[in-house]
Amino acid sequence: MGFWEFVIVITVIGVVGNIIQSGMKLERQRLRSKTLTGEAEEQRGLIAEMHAEIVKLRDRVNVLEKLATDDDRKLASEIERLRGENRPNY
């Protein structure tokens, strides 16, 4: 094998090595972004659950504030009104 053939073979080996290395780097980045996307979706679901729970807790606090600040007559009339709504109509 001559000198120039040796140079060409070494160059081809270097180019092929760089192509393989670039492909492996892209594959690692793709896997990393796929993992991050999955984690992001999981966190979005968790945030949605927490938001729903916060809304429920705010409603409960509003009811408790009403109970604590309303006088007895208003509370009694509200309870009677709600009892009337829950009774079946025959």
Tens of pLDDT, residue by residue over 60-88, are: 998 888 777 767 777 778 888 888 876 66
The answer to whether the beta carbons of residues 75 and 67 sit under 8 Å apart is: yes
More confident residue, 48 or 79: 48
> What does the pLDDT average to over 23-42?
84
Find the angle CA(28)-CA(31)-CA(35) to the nearest 5 degrees.
135
Q: Which residue carries 């992001």 as its tokens? A: 40
Q: Record the pTM.
A: 0.44
Share the mean pLDDT of the chain.
Answer: 84
Q: Exposure pattern of 28-45 as b/e (b: 16+ CB <10 Å)?
A: eeeeeeeeeeeeeeeeee
Give the range of the structural domain holding residue 25, as residue numbers without chain letter: 3-86
* Tally of structural domains, the chain: 1
Q: How far is CA 36 from the centre of its chain?
A: 11
C-beta neighbour count of 9 within 10 angstroms:
11
Point out the least confidently predicted range of 10-14, 44-48, 81-85. Answer: 81-85
| Residue 43: predicted pLDDT | 87
